[in-house]
Structure 1
């Protein structure tokens, strides 16, 4: 990297810090800090929703899958975008009537305070672990760019993200997301993709040199595709970071339009990334660690100046996910655990301070965990499996089945979470089976306990009426 490339990235980081400082002035109420005042339009919402899930694993992981499998690697990112779109089309209208800030608030309104607490803990852990993956990813990127020690790079990268998030909350996150979305889109679609195709000899050269399986969307197999859909699509539909972004929209029509655009964009983005990976297989056929496909291609093909823009785009993708999930985790803890159970009578100004302090503490915890595990895929697989397997079913049953009871939701979340963690411990963290075990267990417990509970309630009611 030349000094010009490094200067571009440094300027980008400086802009993020400035936005964070301005956010301190703008975020004067808890609603602005947590939901940006609920007044975002279609473009702003689309950029924010897109930016939140196109992180390090999506960008670097999709290029890796393109290198290894071709078009079928599209399912990784597209399943995430599909989850965001489906939430907007299928669940959002029912959810918005409750005027929520968090996903666990809905569990509390549908069931009881115990279900709300369990949901808050599970969703907060999920969001925290996604933040951890992004700290690892930004550390790996900065380490490659500046030749820093990985630990130092994680501290710097994570520190910048958490700085502007702590100060300005969702206002700062929304502003930086738009900056990151624009840079990310320009960097990938206008620079990296066309240059990669040109260096590889064009799309015709890809079809001539690569196996036919690389142009099949089903080459990875039905089982792998179902794992992506169950883990990421369902996980996105019940992710606090996604719900929180949707709640910033000024109305339902705006939210749904933004959600549909995200699904379309996720397909286009994932196609761009896998094609870059396929080009890399022709240009750099002997990459030993395929996680380095994207960075290797960038160093190999991009000229001075453009290299800095593209790496800034990757940094943007990672940071946008990190900031959104950090704020999601801290919001769940600050509002649904600390405020509801320990600081019930605090003013809005005190709650705003509590939210900032909680965000700071969660940021420190995320960096510490990232420094400890330093393994990207382990953290994200566990996070999505736990969330999708334990929280999705109770929410859907609560919204669409009138006989679902509080007792059923509570036990379903607890038992399914134990089943998922037990399955991961026995079959390995890379196994796709535990999430299936968790979902099946969840459905069985929800139905069985709800029916039993409802029958008992009916008997008690009948007995009371018989006795006058």
Structure 2
């Protein structure tokens, strides 16, 4: 038990204090990846790649099991590194896991680890560039150009959009170099702008297009406006509420047009 007795304070505190603000922030932290990742292109890829609804459901539960089991291993390693090498933890937290692999594993494990790390980075980068480029080209540009545009010209539009998205991603990476903060910001933006329209479109039959647009726009504006304010709760929590209210108001003010069947 000496390691447990010397563990950093708060390492095994899984729940917040019994205060409303603490619980709101606790649930808000879970929402970032728990709900913010649902509208991501990763989920779409896995759902669309499934051959049936049953396969999609089972693969989702299976992936969740892997996250809880295999995905927790790096966290336990980082907890041990925080105790064994506090100087690395204070200097640069992003180097914790690679430093532990270099210090406590053989050459073969190091090759597998860094090979898997580079593969994950390249795979995520490629999908992160292709997905938004395809959405911009297909959903925003093609409707204005019409369906008569030739495929070879449309392919060039897609290629230019890839370059455009890459430039934007590079600027954002230079703006914030912390990987954890970049991932969290990406999930927060999807949470406050895309989660509510997606959920409403799936489960609310009255959901309208204008309601979805208002939810995306006002949810994003609310988060950006609250970001620089010193609030007792995380800014994405009230921004999510704004997105929900905007969805409800937009749907009721501009209801979905009913199709007339002959």
Q: Distance in 1 between matches of 2:28 and 2:152?
A: 44
How far off its partner does 1:446 sit?
2.3
Q: Distance in 2 between matches of 1:354 and 1:424?
A: 34
How far off its partner does 1:445 sit?
2.3
Which residue of structure 1 lines up, in the alignment, with residue 34 of structure 2?
A: 233
Does residue 1:247 correspond to 2:37, yes or no?
no
Which residue of structure 2 lines up, in the alignment, with residue 63 of structure 1?
A: none
Which residue of structure 2 lines up, in the alignment, with residue 335 of structure 1?
A: 138
Q: Distance in 1 between matches of 2:254 and 2:146?
A: 33
Quick check: 254-263 or 244-253, which moved more? Answer: 244-253
How far off its partner does 1:413 sit?
2.0
How far off its partner does 1:448 sit?
3.1
TM-score (norm 2): 0.80
Secondary structure in structure 1 of the residue aligned to 2:98: helix
Q: Distance in 1 between matches of 2:56 and 2:163?
A: 29
How far off its partner does 1:371 sit?
3.6
Which residue of structure 2 lines up, in the alignment, with residue 280 of structure 1?
A: 81
* Residue pair 1:412, 1:442 contacting (<8 A) in 2 also: yes
- The 1:304/1:407 distance shift into structure 2, 3 A limit, reads closer
Q: Distance in 2 between matches of 1:357 and 1:206?
A: 55
Does residue 1:210 correspond to 2:210, yes or no?
no
Task: Return the structure number with greater helix share.
Answer: 1
TM-score (norm 1): 0.48
- The 1:367/1:444 distance shift into structure 2, 3 A limit, reads closer
Residue-pair matches, total: 252
RMSD (Å) for aligned C-alpha atoms: 3.1
* Residue pair 1:386, 1:421 contacting (<8 A) in 2 also: no
Q: Unpaired segments of 5 or more residues in structure 2?
A: none
How far off its partner does 1:224 sit?
4.7
Runs of 4+ with >6 A deviation: none
* Residue pair 1:206, 1:279 contacting (<8 A) in 2 also: no
How far off its partner does 1:377 sit?
4.1
* Residue pair 1:244, 1:328 contacting (<8 A) in 2 also: no
Which residue of structure 2 lines up, in the alignment, with residue 310 of structure 1?
A: 113
